[in-house]
Structure 1
Amino acid sequence: MANHEKINYLEFPAKDLNKVRAFYEQAFAWQFTEYGDTYLAFNDGIFDGGFYQAEAKSTQQSGGVLVVIYTSDISDTEQKVLAAGGEISTPVFPFPGGKRFHFKDPNGNELAVWTDKD
């Protein structure tokens, strides 16, 4: 079975589900399904996950897992993140194999974007 013991779903906390939904729809064109007032499921075109209503946030500093999104145009994606209301927490930096930046969504969850393109 190809999916046996593979990561299948991620969940993030979100204080304000409406703000988080608007951010990810605008920045990354994610699709959402509401499940009551306290849960939003998402699909990014490949992967499924969700946001549950909570005061918490996930950051590297607090020990949270860093979710990394791939892009073929890091400058364009950085501008989309900013235009949607995200905050750049670590500016673009090189690493072996590419470059990336970290951002915080409107709830304060930290994610990263990387590319292997110049």
Structure 2
Amino acid sequence: MSSSDAVAWFEIHVNDIARMRAFYAQVFGWTYAELPGFPLGEYSMIVAGDGDPPLGGLAQSARRPPPAGESTVVYLLVDDIDGTLDAAAAAGGTVHRPKMNIGGEHGYCAIFQDPEGNHVGLWADH
């Protein structure tokens, strides 16, 4: 179960997604691509520049306000999500969101919670 140091994705969990789209557009110049049908709620993929691939997302939190440790999630690129979740659990963490298919070519993600309540995302091609 090797992983790279690469950050694969990040999410900012928000309550009012329209307001936060406008805020981050003003601060960073971000534009957005919608992700229709996302199973966990409204989701906007963040695009930093014209023609650039999305680099993260704004996710409407199912809980308001988002709990501590869940407001921003960084996804780390790993070779084996299942093995990494097992290692996190063996070290005292818990699975927060099990492995799920993001859809087609986008791969898979999961989130574990460390012993202090921080959420860490995992991302893999398979």
Q: Give the TM-score normalised by the residue count of structure 2.
A: 0.44
Q: Give the TM-score normalised by the residue count of structure 1.
A: 0.46
